[in-house]
Structure 1
């Protein structure tokens, strides 16, 4: 019996390898950290710093920056999850100060959030960093960037550390090591890999040959439910039926269907402009892969098939996979729909994609997004738009947003402009009737898009006439009721979309108004009842405009306004309009324009120039604890985790532009949900901070004018409603 060769072992240890100026840069981030007002008892608290639970987050920040050396080393030697938004700065400062002694902290943090904190591994080299980092190359977010930077920076160390894993037993570690070594070879480090392999001796050089030039993977073994005799026949485009052998070959070729390799480039910059916060992107918010093109065999066989028959075959495959309880080993069935599917397929797939995230089938939902975006038909993208709008947020929703953006860009459009073009007309642009066979009634909508049936004399009927005994198509009545319900749903969805556009400053070129919106039987009537605005390159309002009766644009003086076709137009928020808001409200009242949602008469808070330049607003009070409790139960978050007395003394609300609005409370409410016991509260100050900050600083630095006026207004209106 042949003796088993002993496993290879890398003898290296973890050590520091700073780039020029890197340590100084990381240490300089201490200036961005703040721990609030330093307390005299902190030095005493530091004596138990080996137990993070005994310290407040402010004390931890103080300890890492300038606290007693021995206490800080004791803390970073046994790291726990840091409760800091500024973890990246805190960690970099600690690593710059304590170097190799901070490795446990760096490894723990990078493992917890590789996209945002993986760059902490860059100055460390050795087997343990290499093993961790090799697993990031398949990620979509910034961690993939950190892995590449690390490998390019430490190729010799990486080769020595990863060859033993690549020669080890099958599993994730071997797969990750192989990925990393192939990346090193691709960037010109193959000589280093081969030299290191020779140093390890024995059969290692042969293993490297196999690793760098892998044989094509075998297709997965097909299950019984994917056998040709279990599926419908495929008709050929030129007539006849596809032979079973070809069907088998097609299924085997489709079994290699997958998402494409991660798009390039990997996002992330560890030191933009040489300083500041690193640019990082979570995997869920990075550019997502579409479905990879079919292989030559699949492409050739699909080209021979009748299109509708191939799509029906694909749906049968999908149903068989669902009936087998969606085995992950055969999840290729979902991306295969991008090669076979038609609009009927996407109508079948979309409800499934909607249902998968609540059931924990996130990977399958992402496959479904990729199919819809890759197919790119109007039907597929309508489904993707609807799915994204109705999701509740989170990483899966971020992926849907990216797929929408990619699909829109492939048509040369923004998501907003794509949505305009894909809004269904329900046939209202070509004419709709209630047709009973013997009697036909034209169907119309009024200015508010209410559906009506007209009598032969042109009168709008309060109710649609019911079918009579002489009518040959009585089912038309139920069809009409469904039609009316569908139109109502579309109108509601588009009104909600336009309101989101107002709040989110989503713009379109002015030429889309007469070219796309106004001719549309649903979008046009909604657009005509809104106040629009022309914006500059900085997204600032130039002037407000309304759509006149002839489709032209009119200014506040009711004079025709010439606007270039490329000028950005958007639905204005009243907080942007300024002193003209009252006149616009009067104009809309004079013309009896009933708006689809509150706009010119919407409650708004428009800051004065003095307030925009200020760094805070005065508070008010008293405020009931129940009102504070409702805020925390809603979109506001308590920021009391750093409070020794376990009360929320700050409430926070995220704003666009990576800003946060903060409300200072006194005396504060308990961190539990039981706020009634807190007694009356007073809001002492309202101010802005960066969203990445821990909000402990004593000085206010950001003027309120830096916030988006619409978003700030919406939050201040909600806040001021608490005043008695």
Structure 2
């Protein structure tokens, strides 16, 4: 097989083409002025997510005035703590201090500024802009929702000049798109060389009708922009330095890696193999497109051998103790990995944040799962988003899933439905395993325990090990497939039970079509769904053995095309609750989580009206029991000094949050450090940073109130 030219003569070895030249004068339109407005444009839910971030520092009622005085006279000198004060203090104290706040920091400050920007919006503009300008890579992301002439000019400069800010600059222009054009046009058609150069590059980056967006400055400006977009770079464009070829790290021995097999036999030559690795490393600054090298290798090499090659590279990296500046290793896994890669990599990704320098590595690992993009990969990503020992990693996984959902036009819940893997099961929820001379059928019962039967339908206790008469290739592969299937089903069952319980508590609804395809018709999820009572149009029903729907009297239930379906909460069932419990007992149906036997609780007269739930204060509770609350709607507070989380909270409604203050607090990554917690205070506010609200839980969904009280009661000693 002839190898692609790129594998033999990679682009970084080729002599670059001569830069185009132009004798034309710069295209200028004098007198244009950029709009002088400022706007913060939030994506759905973004402001709420930023508001939930709490930086350093914690103060009690009565301490705010003293803390404000320390802020003013400089005794509160640690900038993250000052940021924490501004995010949490009463507004009459925080707002005047924000106006005069001039922090001087060089480390990443994006996280600390998020709740301040969410709270004060454009009043926090100057401090956010100043800090972002000081540290493009670390604090620049705070400007993502900002739109103005100075912000557009800053991102255009970063886009042209800073390698470290390329990603955030492309993100900003991709986000604001044509809305940024009016702010760029005056610079692009102005006399000053630097701003003109930057703005032109930015305009050429933006997708869509740029000329039409430029027409707010008049037809002359729009026509000039049209010429700019097709014009060659001017003669006075900076001369680009020679291309520096990529280099391999010293820890990597190319000859120790298995050569990828060619599709028509043989192996990829050593030099071509080296070029493939160099392409994955990339040229400094990304100045050369190396995709033709990688795509060329993918076109001529056996996919399984490329997967093995990528994993061997990863193992070599592990053996070298994971040296830094080796992001190409995980990028190679993402490009050539498969479901087997996902299964081996995911446990490592989950553990990495607990290791020195492991958090950024774990985030790259999430990118690998996104890049592989298979059902198995996205299911594992979803599992991390639902449950992780490390809140930061969990949040990153959630953001990546949200981005995937938005690209597909789905909500997070809808994407999660589509990520429940079928695991190769057929429409009946079974899988045939071929041993050659004999075959076995694997299925699952209502508790998702595997069942095995032979070709005659006779049940077996388990799948037999391959014997001497079985096919030496098919039988071991089938036996291994069964072991992986059992492991995958256990992982799916654990995550889906928690998701279904959360869906019941939050009142999540499915359309009839979604329910039929992703719940009742799913080869695995339907087993869990059969053990629950569902609700549509106020009418409860269950899924019968023949997959039809039946009411309390076993009469058939037909769902209209326009129907929505949800999991019934005991409060939804009213007087029929006891009767439904009897039906499930008669059929010996074991529920996956408490539904029909779930406690229904209400507040005592006047309870919570002072903004406190005092009967749950002062409790001594094992840390593990508190962490158990996070399986549904509770979230852990951000880590503060010494990596301690001082509260957990539940956001019950847009302006209602219940907060449990903890002492001594939960140690991130080392929850056993403080095995017992005291519930110092249980209070109700708009958010974990607000003051106590005296109207308590008035108007909150009774289901949420019942679930809240059940969770708090579970913390009370028997």
Task: State the TM-score bracket (shorter-chain normalisation).
Answer: 0.5 to 0.7
Gaps of 5+ in 1: 1-17, 23-52, 199-207, 261-291, 536-541, 640-649
Given that 2:140 and 2:168 are in contact with CA atoms closer than 8 Å, whether structure 1 keeps it comes out as no
| Counterparts of 2:194 and 2:466, CA distance in 1 | 91
Q: How do 1:417-496 and structure 2 match up within 5 A?
A: 417-423=417-423, 425=425, 429-432=429-432, 445-452=444-451, 463=461, 482=483, 486=487, 489=490, 492-493=493-494, 494-496=496-498
What CA distance in whole angstroms lies between the structure 1 residues aligned with 2:348 and 2:249? Answer: 22
Q: Report which stretch shifted further, 75-84 or 525-534.
A: 75-84
* Cα pair distance change 1:306/1:487, threshold 3 Å: closer
Q: Which residue is 2:369 aligned to?
A: 372
Which among 301, 312, 318 is matched to residue 314 of structure 2? 318
1:522 aligns with 2:524: yes
2:249 maps to what in 1?
Answer: 223
Match of residue 281 from structure 1: none
CA spacing shift, 1:209–1:626, aligned 2, 3 Å: farther
Aligned equivalents of 1:379, 1:364: Cα separation in 2 = 21
Asked which structure has the greater CA Rg, the reply is 1
Residue matched to 1:255: 281
Q: Does 1:717 align with 2:710?
A: yes
Find the aligned partners of 1:674 and 1:242 in 2 and give their Cα distance.
55
Equivalent residue in structure 1 for 2:338, among 319, 337, 342: 342
**Aligned equivalent of 2:359:** 362
Residue 305 to residue 449, structure 1, CA distance change in 2 (3 Å):
closer
Is 1:403 paired with 2:400?
A: yes
Deviation at 1:528, TM superposition (A): 1.1
Contact 1:442/1:453 (CA < 8 Å) preserved in 2? yes
Matched, 1:582 2:590: no
Q: Which of 342, 347, 352 is residue 348 of structure 2 equivalent to? A: 352
Alpha carbon RMSD of aligned pairs, Å? 6.1
CA contact (8 A) 2:620 2:677 kept: no
* Structure 1 CA distance for aligned equivalents of residues 172 and 456 of structure 2: 78
* Residues 267-317 of structure 1: CA deviation (Å, up to 9, x unaligned): xxxxxxxxxxxxxxxxxxxxxxxxx99623432343233333333332232
Q: What is the CA distance between 1:716 and its match in structure 2?
A: 0.3
Q: TM-score if structure 2 supplies the norm length?
A: 0.63
SS in 2 for 1:326: coil
CA contact (8 A) 2:258 2:312 kept: yes
1:206-254 CA-to-partner distances (Å, cap 9, x unmatched) read xx99997866874542135556434333333455544444333322221
Task: Measure the CA separation in 2 of the matches of 1:152 and 1:674.
Answer: 45
**Whole-angstrom distance in 2 between the partners of 1:723 and 1:296:** 65
CA distance in 2, matches of 1:529, 1:670: 41
CA pair 338-488 structure 1, distance change in 2 beyond 3 A: closer
* 1:178-217 to 2 correspondences below 5 Å: 189=187, 191=190, 194=193
- Give 1:42's aligned residue: none
Instruction: Describe the shift of the 1:141–1:582 C-alpha distance in structure 2 as closer, same or farther (beyond 3 A).
Output: farther
How far apart, CA to CA, are the structure 1 residues paired with 2:130 and 2:507? 45
Counterpart mapping for 1:668-683 below 5 A: none
- Between the aligned partners of 1:105 and 1:325, the Cα distance in structure 2 is 36
**Partner secondary structure for residue 604 of structure 1:** coil
In structure 2, the partner of 1:700 is: 694
Instruction: Label 1:705 to 1:533 Cα distance change in 2 as closer, same or farther (>3 A).
Output: farther
Question: Could you tell me how far apart the structure 1 residues matched to 2:684 and 2:616 are?
Answer: 22
The structure showing larger relative contact order (alpha-carbon pairs under 8 Å, at least 6 residues apart) is 2
**Conserved 8 A contact 1:434-1:480:** no
What stretches of structure 2 of length at least 5 have no aligned partner? Answer: 1-35, 41-56, 174-179, 198-233, 638-645, 667-672
Matching residue of 2:503? 501
Deviation at 1:404, TM superposition (A): 3.2
* Contact map agreement 2:624 2:675 (CA 8 A) in 1: no
Partner of 1:601: 597
CA distance in 1, matches of 2:132, 2:416: 38
- Deviating more after overlay: 389-398 vs 551-560: 551-560
Question: 2:131 matched to which residue of 1?
Answer: 132
Secondary structure at the counterpart of residue 599 of structure 2: coil
